[in-house]
Amino acid sequence: MRDTRTAPPMSLEAKSPYELRVDLSKDVPETDMRAAVQNGDIGFLHSFTTGATVDGPGVRVVAWTAGCNWRCQYCHNPDTWNMTNGMPVPLARATEELRKYRHGLKIMNGGLTISGGEPLMQARFVVKLFTAAKAMGIHTALDTNGYLGDRLSDAELQAIDLVLLDLKTWNPEKHRKLTGMDNAPTHDFARRLAAKKRPMWVRYVLVPGLTDDVKDIADIARFAASLGNVERVDVLPFHQMGQYKWKQLGIPYTLEKTEPPEPENVEWACEIFRTAGLQAY
Ligand code: SF4
């Protein structure tokens, strides 16, 4: 645990989301935290990172939120599960931070992505930050597991240029085992985005022995293709960069011996999506 009596103040910007960050708002009273979440004037953030090229189009700033309602076995950032691990950041400060990058983001056809954790745990803050970004002419993308999609009104969806929807696995029982939660609300959100014609990318993490079942991937591919608003699919190879966080946080980790997939297996998964008529990378 970080010793807040002696440690220097933590900067909002991190080199990568794989920096372990804990207890950054442990001194914020619970009632203040609840009020902040309800009005969205303060966000609880793991960090900002810059230069990302895998979290939406172009080169992007990513705001990593703290707090997640799922517990994925392969999560790379379990320090983002608890909101109290995030740094309390006033909306005005987050907006100012973003303002510094606005010209560069436009030149590099990028924008702001809000990821997590699960950003919609702090839906009010997310909407306010996206609205501020749009006012600066910055492209906005939300990386979400979709479970809390009904926290966004139809009007608020307009402030989001692109939804990166994480589909974890198709079979409901496997999904509950993998994430601790049902996938039906995620599918409902996907259908709603499709009905509203909101652009969407699907993200699929390929984990050998866990999410590499051909039928499961084909079912997701069929579903995604049926929506009509999925512009591309990113197959993300599992890696172990977050493994040390599980150890340091003392959370039992079941994938210690799991290796990243071979490139040809990633290509194989991409082909399943392509066969369904989608662009996959
Ligand atoms: S939804 Fe994302 S942040 Fe939450 S547990 Fe799963 S992988 Fe981790």
In contact, 65 and 117? CB cutoff 8 Å: yes
In contact, 85 and 21? CB cutoff 8 Å: yes
The pTM of the full predicted model, rounded to 2 decimals, is 0.95
Is the pLDDT at 77 greater than 80? The verdict is: yes
User: What's residue 19's pLDDT?
Assistant: 81
Is the pLDDT at 6 greater than 80? The verdict is: no
246 lines ligand 1 (CB under 6 A): no
235 lines ligand 1 (CB under 6 A): no
d(CA 203, CA 131): 24
116 lines ligand 1 (CB under 6 A): yes
Q: Which atom of ligand 1 is nearest to the CA of 69?
A: 4
User: What's residue 25's pLDDT?
Assistant: 87
CA of 5 to the centre of ligand 1 (A): 30
The DSSP result for 182-225, as a single string, is -SHHHHHHHHHHHHTT--EEEEEEE-TTTS--HHHHHHHHHHHH
130 lines ligand 1 (CB under 6 A): no
Using most ligand atoms within 8 A of CB, pick from 46, 62, 80, 142 the residue to mutate for ligand 1.
80
Instruction: Name which of 113, 75, 70 is nearest 236 in CA terms.
Output: 75
User: What's residue 1's pLDDT?
Assistant: 43
User: What's residue 11's pLDDT?
Assistant: 83
Q: Could you report the per-residue pLDDT of 231-272, keeping only the tens digit for each?
A: 999 999 999 999 999 999 999 999 999 999 999 999 999 999
**pLDDT higher for 135 or 12?**
135
d(CA 83, CA 220): 30
Q: Which atom of ligand 1 is nearest to the CA of 78?
A: 8
Q: Could you report the per-residue pLDDT of 101-143, keeping only the tens digit for each?
A: 999 999 999 999 999 999 999 999 999 999 999 999 999 999 9
d(CA 207, CA 221): 16
Going from the C-alpha of 216 to that of each of 58, 211, 277, the distances in angstroms are 30, 8, 16
Q: Could you report the per-residue pLDDT of 172-222, keeping only the tens digit for each?
A: 999 999 999 999 999 999 999 999 999 999 999 999 999 999 999 999 999
201 lines ligand 1 (CB under 6 A): no
Structure confidence at residue 23 as a pLDDT band (50, 70, 90): confident
CA of 81 to the centre of ligand 1 (A): 7
